[in-house]
Structure 1
């Protein structure tokens, strides 16, 4: 049985205090559903533990796909979101996959979290899968390997781009430009030809996805790569 750790944000408001944010629901539900179907042991954790705020935008008609809708209407799943594990308390456990779910909230509590950095570093250097989707990719920005180099330096990677931020109407709200930050770290950044369409990039045991519309494909790719390593 594969053990999967899904890391989610605790932040439910932009710094301006004008708009709510949080987890982008589909970026959790699709990997959760795929892992559940495979009989994986799933742990959902966050930097502080406890309640996971969900971005209200991710509950709107254009974002709430069939799988996300089913989980959102499931009382058990809603309960899971209210009681995430504290990340530090699971830091001694071993996982086959560490998955950073997205949502704008992650831009505040993922990049400088030392526990996330340690988890990702150890996971990557042990040859196990590290995956991150959309703004969850911000959790990779400041991860340094044992050799002192940034993990994403010279890695082929994707994540929510600046033009998509404009389309989302959040350029003035976000604390930084994720696309630019990834490039500054030396990442070989890739994006879909058409904004807001699916893009998943695999670079050895590092898997990244561009946006919420990549959630379904990301879950398939991650589970496929996980299966290869289990054989």
Structure 2
């Protein structure tokens, strides 16, 4: 019989760009497509965010004709967890064997310096769990240190939203930093797909990262493979 794992899906609470009137937030498919892979195994999960409560959704991520978004955004349980996310302070890392950082530009503001998030990530990882992230959510890994003081992502194969993708969506002047540059500065072994916006993931033992929104399903699938098929 398969072991029962529990996943923690972490989302942003941040909605504002410095100068743009549009709002940011979670890029919806980065939660739904990842969870769709977990749902096949009926994996228990929780959704958490730095402040708890309702997770804001980037409006641009909702109106795509995406049947997986439709399915889960209208699923009462998933929606309830999204609208009433746990506050990170309420999370017990010992309850989870998987942590997954969703993206959306909002994460660039409230993930990187969140000490609670860093602590939860470290504990799950050091307890033998999987750490996974996609797109801008990878920013949550930038400052995670292990108990020995070494950076989690130092000399590890990593991907995340690329400089060229940021320029193509014309938000490179809005974000507080460019994720690709920041990952390289932390000595992560950053790589990206040849063509922007196509699915691309990197796997380094118990660390799985995806480059952009279309990579979320592949991250979920790989996490499930690593947990159940090794």
| Residue 76 (structure 1) shift | 4.5
Q: Report the counterpart of residue 56 of structure 2 in structure 1.
A: 53
Tell me if structure 2 keeps the 8 A contact 1:21–1:103: yes
Secondary structure (helix, strand or coil) at the match of 1:197 reads: coil
TM-score (norm 2): 0.93
| Residue 70 (structure 1) shift | 2.0
2:36 equivalent to 1:38: no
The change in CA–CA distance for 1:131 and 1:92 in structure 2 (over 3 A counts) is: closer
| Residue 125 (structure 1) shift | 2.1
User: Where does structure 1 lack aligned partners over 5 or more consecutive residues?
Assistant: none
CA RMSD of aligned residues (A): 1.5
Q: Report the counterpart of residue 84 of structure 2 in structure 1.
A: 83
> Deviation per CA, 1:126-145, whole angstroms, max 9, x where unpaired?
22100011000000001111
2:177 equivalent to 1:208: no
Which aligned segments of 4 or more residues in structure 1 are displaced greater than 6 angstroms? Answer: none
2:126 equivalent to 1:117: no
Q: Report the counterpart of residue 186 of structure 2 in structure 1.
A: 185
Moved more, 14-23 or 117-126: 14-23
Tell me if structure 2 keeps the 8 A contact 1:9–1:46: yes
2:9 equivalent to 1:6: yes
The count of residues paired between Structure 1 and Structure 2 equals 227
Q: Report the counterpart of residue 194 of structure 1 in structure 2.
A: 195
CA distance in 2, matches of 1:189, 1:24: 22
Tell me if structure 1 keeps the 8 A contact 2:34–2:220: yes
CA distance in 1, matches of 2:177, 2:22: 16
Secondary structure (helix, strand or coil) at the match of 1:44 reads: strand
CA distance in 1, matches of 2:209, 2:25: 19
CA distance in 2, matches of 1:79, 1:3: 18
TM-score (norm 1): 0.93
